[in-house]
Amino acid sequence: MTQESASASGTEDVLISVEGRTGRIRLNRPKAIHALTHDMCSAMIAALTGWATDESIDLVMIDHAEGRGFCAGGDIRMLAESAAADGAAARAFFHEEYRLNHLLFTYAKPTIAFMDGITMGGGVGISQPCAIRIVTDRTVYAMPETGIGLFTDVGGGWYLSRMPGRTGHYVGLTGARLNGAECLATALGTHYVAADDVEALKTAILGNPRAIDAALRSAVTAVPPAPILDRKADIDRLFASDRYEDILAALAADGGEWALATLKTLETKSPQTCKVVLRLLAEAARIDDFAIEMAMEYAVAARVIARPDFVEGVRALIVDKDGAPRWNPATAAAVEESDIDAIFAPLPSAEAWTPLPNA
């Protein structure tokens, strides 16, 4: 029996329900590929908080109601409009979203996310904390933020820094899109299921969440080759440095077709936020508390949206769609280390991010 309830904020953009002994969260903004809003994050927090102490709930399932992707990210237009003004709404969104990310990361009950279709940005933030992460032949995973003057947030520093070798640095800098097999090979996913079998798996889990392991064993299928593994040696060699200029120089010096194509890709990204990503991953690799990670990322987000590249990147790629962002600074060499230091400086305590009480 399904008991569907209105979300805490009254939004219909996320459907909150209880199906048997499973709490279910279904993203429901198909025209926006389920991009997250502040209200959606609040609704999910309210549901998860209630289910955490509800003895009738054994499992939480996160998926999408319809459409071609799980979640394409956050409400970028709103964020850019806010950033162009005082940034208050953007900071409030990040604060709430990061609380949701942290709540899922520390959640006491089993969680499962279906990364079926497009899973980017904010979609990464709500899927990667889940214990079980289903990927399929339709999965398209990416953290493309450097292309709009943003950075790999929502816990991206934590997840990317823990990918094999330097693959996370490559993915974070270039915005490379990974398929389901590549997600499984790099531990971004835990189970590979054919897209045509996803609904049957959901039905089996909803019918008996306590038998989820058996359902997963029955659903997984043969995994195709993961192309990123064929490039791992090149990635580890060419992306070895935490200094962005070194990576650009290594790609240019290599001169191979793949290296030059990758260099051309990087030349379209914000030099400032590429340096931010490298610093973020270096810092995150040394952090052992996800709350500390999110506090750092929030401080970085608050600083980055106040700088020119974010509004300009959104203008070029999403608003005007001319594909010609004018980055400021325009080159990696022009980005001073003191600028990056300022972006990573802790916020005053009254402005800093905090997790939910008891989370």
pLDDT in tens, 157-180: 999 999 999 999 999 999 999 999
- Does 106 fall in a domain? yes
| Active-site residue (options: 145, 293, 309, 312) | 145
Query: What is the distance between the alpha carbons of residues 347 and 291, in angstroms, rounded to a whole number?
Result: 15
Percent of the chain with pLDDT over 90: 96
Which residues span the domain enclosing 250? 2-344
| Residue-averaged pLDDT of the chain | 95
Averaged over 10-29, what is the pLDDT? 92
Q: Hey, which residues does 280 pair with through a beta bridge? A: none
Q: What is the rounded average pLDDT of the residues 11-16? A: 91
Distance CA 135, CA 168 (A): 18
Q: Are 38 and 82 in contact (CB under 8 A)?
A: no
Q: For residue 111, give the nearest of 62, 41, 50, 176 by alpha carbon.
A: 62
Q: Does a structural domain hold residue 356?
A: no
Active site residue 337: no
Task: Give alpha helix (H) positions in 156-270.
Answer: 156-161, 167-174, 180-185, 198-207, 212-219, 227-230, 232-238, 244-254, 257-266
Please pick, among 69, 117, 122, 168, the residue that the annotation labels catalytic.
122
pLDDT for 298-350, tens place per residue? 999 999 999 999 999 999 999 999 999 999 999 999 999 999 999 999 999 99
Q: Residue 7's pLDDT is what?
A: 37
Task: Note the pLDDT of residue 359.
Answer: 75
**Distance (Å, whole) CA 47 – CA 29:** 18
Residue from 23, 69, 74, 149 carrying the catalytic annotation: 74
Tokens of 249: 């120089």
* Residue 180 falls in the annotated catalytic set: no
Say if residue 325 is preceded by a cis peptide, omega within 30 of 0. Answer: no
Residue 18 pLDDT > 50, yes or no?
yes
96 is catalytic: no
What are the tokens at 275? 């340096």
Residue corresponding to tokens 């939480």? 60
Q: Is residue 354 part of a domain?
A: no
Look at residue 11 in the predicted model and tell me its pLDDT: 67
pLDDT in tens, 121-156: 999 999 999 999 999 999 999 999 999 999 999 999
Residue 67 is a catalytic residue: no
By percentage, how much of the chain surpasses pLDDT 70? Answer: 97
Residue with tokens 């969680």: 111
CATH number at residue 93: 3.90.226.10
Query: What are residue 121's phi and psi, to 5 degrees?
Result: 50, -115
Q: Is 291 exposed, middle or buried (0-12, 13-18, 19+ CB in 10 A)?
A: middle
In a domain, 19, yes or no: yes
pLDDT > 80? residue 90: yes
CA distance 137 to 131: 20
Question: What is the average per-residue pLDDT within 50-73?
Answer: 95
Residue in 13, 19, 153, 312 annotated catalytic: 153
Q: What does the pLDDT average to over 261-275?
A: 98
- Give the pTM: 0.95
Check pLDDT > 70 for residue 200.
Answer: yes
| Dihedral pair phi/psi, residue 294, rounded to 5° | -70, -35
Residue 29 lies in a domain: yes
**pLDDT bracket for residue 358 (50, 70, 90):** confident
Structural domain contains residue 97: yes
Rounded Cα distance between 160 and 176, Å, is: 12
Distance CA 328, CA 307 (A): 9
Q: How many domains does the chain have?
A: 1
Q: Is 277 among the domain residues?
A: yes
215 lies in some domain: yes
* Residue 192 to residue 27: CA distance in whole angstroms: 21
What does the alpha-carbon distance between residue 64 and residue 32 come to, in Å, rounded to a whole number? 12
Structure tokens at 335: 């980005």
